[in-house]
Structure 1
């Protein structure tokens, strides 16, 4: 029996590892790339080398939208991408586009990793996905070439590039900006030519894209928290043994924790670097940010509420109120 077991073990070890691809959009030296490498390392370690994840970055497997279609169809195993591009597939993902939803990263972690985040992930299998974890892109902030944004009135008439997302467009037009949707690939040229006055992105993206070369002012508004989501193809996932699913899930959770720490540390460094590059940084007062937030009431009721459902929106608000009350005690 011992000889038989030994032979079986040797045969299993001799088998080729199960290899699968993990696509992401940013460059290999980005926070996405670093986290993808950690994810692959954890998969290999936890499986004893039996599972091999191949990270493929720089959008070599396509845009987020293209990869999502491939993952849903089962022609690509895994990816990480923006929740914003999933809204057309799972309307409840629009919750994460809600302006001024979170006051800090701790609130984002609480909601994303808790019951509500899992509840929204639970909508994915019907669309061909399995959601594993949420990663962090970061809070989005405003830059422009005209003036500091210290008050609501400072946004008036500002030609502002926003993502090709209805909620973003409506939100900034409500705040008085001339919000215009534009593909990210076209943004740098538009800022340099003056076709656009400004844009909004996390510090990391502002730095890596060298927007400081055309944008003088950086206003820390933290107006939207942008999550990424790690997805697996349901067709592929359902064929895996449960033990392999558990290994990949555990590795994804460990990579998520690394990615959030890394992204937050990078954001701190990026902000310091942007100041060194000559950007003028300002923080609107709590009162002015509250004025902006109050303008979002009808966006929440009509846009976010219609997409995610008012019961879910109320549940989110109650969860955040409870969290903030506990934090104050």
Structure 2
């Protein structure tokens, strides 16, 4: 059984089995009310996300809301389009306990938890089948558990997708074509270093500032998954796209530890199960929208597919970045990640 299947099964059994257990006896023979017997101390969960209501991430958040509200007395209020702040601000609010739930990409999360840079190392995950296996593996579970000692509760990995380069200056078919391009990146030192290694001039900024920056020529280009490009009409201010697929970006559904500790055990189990089910749903929607978005992009932009030789050139140009971040991330984590990828590739090939 897969990790997600195990979590769903255990979660369901846990919810069912703990409903009747309200009182326990401790070692001193006194009775204490367990967390289960207590009602959650909060009733409304504020869910912040940077994407707009058209994005598959919002579909996943809506499914999460539906499942949580169906299985608990909690209410989930969703705030899309960075209404409460961008990913970095949301993470800070989660740590302070002034926000309950968010779904940032791994890059902004890595500003707080350096180990999460491992997911943004360039040219590591080759395709969606491998991504699915890696992000529901024991390795992924360990990465989520890591957050629990650092004021966050990691619930599940969702999908943003493979990132591709767009620009308004020229067709990019090789590393040489990237040189000199001013490229907007996420606010991640690793992403900055990767684009510097390719010869670009990277400029970090929040996603909600991107369209205006492209329109005004502050930057020449940017890199994002297909839905982010199409659903935000970036083709209106960009002429070229190259299917670099340089990074597969996961999303991390995270909960404030302060808020989590205010939930009853029953509600914690229900929220965990909802996160897994909503993650599966979000991934399905994202793949469907991904195909539709690519069609929109092709209708409005020139799309260049890298040759295998060019892709190898891109990967070779960024190998120094992997080496540079070995001490930042931890060599053991990078080794475990690459082993998990190799295992997933082997399993996918057999299937």
TM-score normalised by structure 1 residue count: 0.89
Corresponding residue number in structure 1 for 2:341: 320
| 2:324 aligned to which of 278, 289, 302 | 302
Distance 1:185 1:235, change over 3 A: closer
Q: Deviations over 1:216-253 (max 9, x none)?
A: 11111111111211111112212322221111111111
Give the unaligned 5+ runs of structure 1: 1-11
Q: Is it true that 1:26 corresponds to 2:47 in the alignment? A: no
- Judge conservation of contact 1:35–1:258 (CA < 8 Å) in 2: yes
Task: Kindly indicate whether the alpha-carbon contact (under 8 Å) linking 2:110 and 2:116 is maintained by their aligned counterparts in 1.
Answer: yes
1:131-150 matches, cutoff 5 A: 131-150=154-173
Shift of 1:191: 2.3
Distance 1:319 1:82 in 2: 20
Work out the CA distance in 1 between the residues paired with 2:182 and 2:65.
Answer: 41
* Distance change (3 Å), C-alpha of 1:153 and 1:79: same
Distance 1:284 1:29, change over 3 A: closer
1:247 matched residue in structure 2: 270
Q: 2:175 — aligned with what?
A: 152
Once superposed, which parts of structure 1, at least 4 consecutive aligned residues long, lie more than 4 Å away?
A: none
1:89/1:127 contact within 8 Å kept: no
Q: Quick one: distance in 2 between partners of 1:224 and 1:88?
A: 17
* Pick aligned residue for 1:170 from 193, 200, 217: 193
| Contact 1:90–1:123 (Cα < 8 Å) also in 2 | no
Equivalent residues of 1:71, 1:232 under 8 A apart: yes
Q: Kindly state the Cα deviation for residue 196 of structure 1 after the two structures are TM-superposed.
A: 2.3
Check 1:54–1:178 CA distance in 2 against 1; reply closer, same or farther (3 A cut).
closer
Cα distance in 1 for residues equivalent to 2:209 and 2:78: 26
1:79-158 alignment runs, 5 A limit = 79-158=102-181
Q: How does 1:204-243 map to 2 (within 5 A)?
A: 204-243=227-266
SS in 1 for 2:84: coil
Give unpaired runs (5+ residues) of structure 2: 1-36
Task: State the distance in 1 between where 2:207 and 2:236 align.
Answer: 16
Shift of 1:128: 0.7
Alpha carbons 2:42, 2:262 under 8 Å: kept:
no
Q: Return the match for 2:184 from 161, 183, 191.
A: 161
Between the aligned partners of 2:220 and 2:81, the Cα distance in structure 1 is 27
